[in-house]
Amino acid sequence: MSENDLGHALGPLSRYRYMFPLESAERRQAYVWLRGWIPGFAELCQQIDALLGPDKRNFRWTRVREKFGAPSLAYQMDGKARFAFNMHRPHEVLRVECATREAFDDVAIEIHERILQREVLLRSQCIICGAPATITSAQGPWASLCAVHRAAVLPINLDDPMGPVWMAARVGEDEVFGLPGV
| Residue ranges of domains in the chain | 3-124
The arithmetic mean of pLDDT across residues 19-40, rounded, is 92
pLDDT digits (tens, 9 = 90+) for 44-82: 999 999 999 999 999 999 999 998 889 999 998 887 666
pLDDT tens profile 78-117: 876 666 667 766 677 777 776 666 777 788 888 988 998 9
143 pLDDT more than 80: yes
pLDDT at residue number 79: 73
Distance CA 161, CA 178 (A): 25
pLDDT at position 81: 62
For the ranges 79-83, 120-124, 157-161, the one whose mean pLDDT is highest: 120-124
Partnered with residue 12 across adjacent β-strands are: none
pLDDT at 147 over 90: yes
Per-residue buried b or exposed e for 145-156, using 16+ beta carbons within 10 Å of the residue's own CB = bbeebbebebee
